[in-house]
Amino acid sequence: MALIIITNSYFDAADDGICLKSHSADFVCQNVFIHNNRIRTSANGIKFGTASNGGFRNVRIVNNLVFDTFRSAITFAAVDGGFIEDIVVDTLRSLNTGNVIFLRIGERRAGKKGRMNNISISNVYAEVPATKPDAGYNYEGPVEDNPRNISPSSIVGMPDAMIENVTLKNIEIHHPGGGNTAYARVGLDELDIVPEMAASYPEFSMFKELPAWGFFIRHAKNIKFENVILICAKKDYRTAVVLDDVHDATFSLLKTSEPGPLKKNLFSRNSTGVVTNK
């Protein structure tokens, strides 16, 4: 069994820093070890896709740093009919990066739904800035998908293709907060206005305004949060974690902090089997 190793390297890129592809439905991108790298980019730090026709399996992403990066530190996108499974992210630092985690199933061609399962993300420390993280960089990322407040991390499948079996453990995310209803707003009573956008190019900002500042999770099953800390620097109108059509989710030791009056840290709609602070 061949093993591909990407280690002890520095990436300074205009596009995605480390980006795995699967161009053919007849082949799988698998058995990859991404270890001890430093990444700066005007796109995503470590990404699977968007070419995802075959699949991605058995990838270990260990002890990496993503910094001064415009998009997400981690993006896994199954949008062309392929799969993403058996992936481990362990020990990630994401500093001055516009987003932390973006997991997405899409259907860019009718009848070609992706699938995603068995994802473990652990031991993550992240800081999301209030300003553009790659400002002044020679190859700045574009300002897009506005108006919106600073986006949360998100796990978003499709109604008939759920993201399954995702564990997030020992995660600490510092978010700037400051979400302002005068700029953009999606209330908890109007989640249906968040579009599905199955055929669209996957980026963390694609849905524009989302109703959460920490995590937005939609069309997912068997999601586990263990010791996840979400810290918001400024008062935000949004809820820390919002679930929409999420089933069999467990939140153990979920801790949130933000200025202002105490409010619930989790909102759930159209969901079953959700257990909090187990």
Place of tokens 């820093």: 17
8-state DSSP, 50: E
CA 57 – CA 15 distance, rounded (Å): 23
pTM of the entire predicted model: 0.97
CA 246 – CA 53 distance, rounded (Å): 26
Q: Is the pLDDT of residue 278 over 60?
A: no
Task: Tell me the backbone φ, ψ of residue 164, rounded to 5 degrees.
Answer: -125, 145
Residue 189 tokens, joined: 């009573």
Return the pLDDT at 262.
87
Return the pLDDT at 5.
97
Mean pLDDT of 169-184: 97
> Strand pairing of 29-35 and 4-7?
parallel
Mean pLDDT of 98-117: 96
Return the pLDDT at 139.
86
Could you tell me which residues come within 8 angstroms of residue 189 by beta carbon, excluding any fewer than 6 positions away?
Answer: none
- Cβ-contact 185, 148 below 8 angstroms: no
- What are the extents of the domains in the chain? 4-131+142-276
Return the pLDDT at 79.
97
Residue 256 binned pLDDT confidence (cut-offs 50, 70, 90): very high
Residue 1 binned pLDDT confidence (cut-offs 50, 70, 90): low
Mean pLDDT of 12-38: 96
Q: Is the pLDDT of residue 34 over 90?
A: yes
Q: Using alpha carbons only, how large is the chain's radius of gyration in Å?
A: 17
> How far, in Å, are 46, 217, 237, 262 from residue 34 at the CA level?
9, 26, 38, 40
Q: Across the chain, what does the average pLDDT equal?
A: 96
Q: Give the closest residue to 152 by CA, choosing from 265, 240, 262, 40.
A: 240
Could you tell me which residues come within 8 angstroms of residue 24 by beta carbon, excluding any fewer than 6 positions away?
Answer: 53, 54
Share of the chain above pLDDT 70, in %: 99
Chain centroid offset of residue 67 CA: 16
Return the pLDDT at 7.
98
Mean pLDDT of 222-226: 98
Place of tokens 């001055």: 96
Return the pLDDT at 25.
92
Mean pLDDT of 6-21: 96
